[in-house]
Amino acid sequence: MKRIIAALLSFIPIVLVVFFYEGNSLRSPSSQSIRHIVFDLDGTLVESLGMNSIGGDIVLDSGEAYHVFDHARQLVERAYRDGLQIHFYSGGPNARNLDLLSKLKLSNGKSFSDIASNILGREDLVDLGEQFEGKFFTDRYRKDLTKIAPLDQLVIIEDNRFFPLDEAQRSRVVELPIHKESSLKVWRSENRLSWVHGVFDQVISGKDLKDINSKNINQNIIHGLEFLGENINDNLSRHGCAGIFYSLAF
């Protein structure tokens, strides 16, 4: 009997090794884990209302007013709480971006600029040259995400998947859904950032973004709204890209 017990006890170290090895092997490799999250600004977190507009959530030193989209603050705060490195990359001028981000606040009173590891803007875009000049700003000017971190360690929350430099960088886009067959204003009045809340855990776990972006949007919006404790009408779908509706004008 003692020999049997001794034999069983001798297997415990082996079982423990296998257990911990299997447990670790189920996790995403560190090279694929998401450590950096990049937020676009215009059309993603905020919308410009023009100069001296009444009713803006944020008014810059220049007098330009901005509407902050529903759940934008909660989304940035969630990323911050989860220990991700926060970055902002906009096509607007750096000075404007800093002014805007310094006026956007978390619930603890810190500004978005306080928690930002990087704030990049128009001066940090890649100019593809006059031969690429077209109808849209993004035909010629692109964001280079490698200025922030290795691509396999980051994602960007973006309303225009064509803004990053090339296909490799566009594969890092968490693409916001667009309201089907409606004007941009109506689409923007919807709580589409709730969709990001719905897929957030999948995103930061390093799951393939192509799979996330192609999943049922309504289901993930509902999931996000349950997380936020709100409701939404059930008629959202991805329909093209917000970038086709506007060009950046600063």
Residue 94 pLDDT exceeds 60: yes
Q: Is residue 191 part of a domain?
A: yes
Q: Is residue 213 part of a domain?
A: yes
CATH number of the domain within which 153 lies: 3.40.50.1000
Q: How many structural domains are present in the chain? A: 1
Q: Is residue 167 part of a domain?
A: yes
The token duo for 106 is: 């978390």
Q: State pLDDT tens for residues 14-64.
A: 433 333 333 333 333 343 489 999 999 999 999 999 887 777 899 999 999
List the single range of 91-95, 120-124, 193-197, 232-236 with lowest mean pLDDT: 232-236
Phi, psi of 122, rounded to the nearest 5 degrees? -55, -40
Distance, CA of 186 to chain centre: 21
Residue 96 pLDDT exceeds 90: yes
Q: Is residue 190 part of a domain?
A: yes
Q: What is the pTM of this model?
A: 0.75
Residue whose tokens read 């415990």: 12
Closest CA relative to residue 170, chosen from 138, 202, 193: 138
Instruction: Label residue 136 by pLDDT band (50, 70, 90).
Output: confident
The parent domain of residue 178 ranges over 2-245
Greatest mean pLDDT among 51-55, 151-155, 217-221 lies in 151-155
The token duo for 61 is: 């030193």
Q: Is residue 203 part of a domain?
A: yes
Q: Residue 192 has what pLDDT?
A: 75
From CA 17, how far away is CA 15, in angstroms rounded?
5
Q: Which residue has the higher pLDDT, 109 or 135?
A: 109
64: Cβ contacts below 8 Å, ≥ 6 apart? 48, 49, 50, 51, 53, 96
Residue 162 pLDDT exceeds 50: yes
Residue 163 pLDDT exceeds 80: yes
The arithmetic mean of pLDDT across residues 189-196, rounded, is 75
Q: Is residue 210 part of a domain?
A: yes
Q: Is residue 250 part of a domain?
A: no
Q: Is residue 109 part of a domain?
A: yes
